[in-house]
Structure formats: structure tokens, C-alpha cells
Amino acid sequence: MLWLDPDFYSLALIVPAMIFSLAMQIMVKSAYKRQSRVRNARGITGAAAAQMVLAAYGIQDVRIEVTRGKLSDHYDPRTKTIRLSEGVCNADSVAAVGIAAHEAGHAAQHALGYTPIKVRNAILPVCNIGSMMAMPLMLLGFMLEFWGLVSIGLALFALIALFQLVTLPVEFNASRRAMQAIDGQNMLQGSERAGAKKVLNAAAMTYVAALVVSLANLLRLMLRAKRRR
């Protein structure tokens, strides 16, 4: 996307944001790698940890299954399924417990009707369209000098940034629920608990980085549109 506007001001906006995003991705991978080597004293697997969190919230209609990939863990509200990666589901590492508990925290949010996740789900379909259409609309608008298309593209970019902003409380809340359940059921103790929290904090920062990149891109494109007009 840099070729669209390769002047100094664009670089000053987007390059630091991209560096920050890359640093956060490295940080989460590093934290996961370290804590995935540390087995928890109770031998609790990721699947067991997720089940314990669900039980703490009285949730009985959510399934847990294994999925391929690394750090591909997620909760699917459509099928009420927690999908844990192979390195998490049956592993008894500190990282596995933290990540699985986090995904179960998302299941709890859906079960309890957590407002931010309702807002995020409501705008998700439009954001999916926006992620595909925003840049083509802006390119076409710039080429034809049709500023209505440019404005629609900017609006879609703004909606994507809003989605990522709403995602922040969703992710932080899921981690908070995870740590509360971990503490309440004594899954981890001492340095183990600290290790799980480091993994969750690092993962949360990747969402912060995604928001920063989106805002930098939005501002860059707004400045470009202003100059072109």
C-alpha cells in the first residue's frame, strides 16, 4: 500500500505503525515459545483448562475440539465450539492453560451477552466487505477524481478501525475472565500464573498494534485525499 503515497509524511505515519505491529507479533511468539516449554505443576491440559472455565460459568453447551495450525485457537459462536491448536489442546504447558482459558472466556462473553462482543459481531459483516472493497474504491476514486467513491472508501476504512477498537475490550475482558478462572480454581500458581499472564498480555498487544496500523492508514489516506482535492 505504500506505493500509493510514498512521500515523507506517509512514511512517517505508516512505517512506525508497521514496526510496532511486527514487534508485537514477535513478542507474542516469543512469550508463547517460552511458556509452552513450562509444564504446569497440576498437569492441566489446555482442553481441561477450557472445560474448567466453562464449568465456572455454568456453560454446558460448548464443545472443545482440536484444530490444525499454531496459535490458531479461537471460539466459534456459530457452532458453540472452542477450537484449540494442537500445541494447546492436549498440552499441559503454562501457555496452553492461558490460551485455552482465554478462548473459554470468549464463550462466556457470548453466553452472558457481553455488550462489546454484540457490537463487534453486528459490524463484522460490513467490515468483511469493507476490507475487500475499501482500497479498490479509493483507487478508482483517485483515478477518476470521483470524490464520492473516495469518501466511501474512507468510511469503510474508518469502520474497520472502529471494529478493531471495539475488539480491544473484547480481548482484554476475555483475558481477565481467564485469569479470574485460573485463580479461582487454582490452575496455576506463582511463576506459572505470571507466565500465563505474559502470554495473554502479549497477545492482547497484537490487537492494539492492529488498531494503530489501521488508524495510521486511515489518516494517511485522509491526508492524501485532502491534497488531491
- Residues taking part in catalysis: 103
Pair 18, 69: CB distance under 8 Å: no
Distance CA 94, CA 47 (A): 13
Distances (CA, A) of 202 to 25, 75, 93, 198: 8, 19, 17, 6
- All three cell numbers of 178, joined, read 481467564
End-to-end Cα separation, the chain, in angstroms: 20
List of E strands, 47-160:
63-67, 74-76, 81-85
Query: Distance between CA 176 and CA 197 in Å, rounded?
Result: 9
Is the separation of the CB atoms in 97 and 182 below 8 Å? yes
Residue 162: Cβ-neighbour burial (10 angstroms; 0-12, 13-18, 19+): middle
What the block records as the C-alpha cell of 67 is 484444530
SS3 content of the chain, % helix, strand, coil (to 5): 75, 5, 20
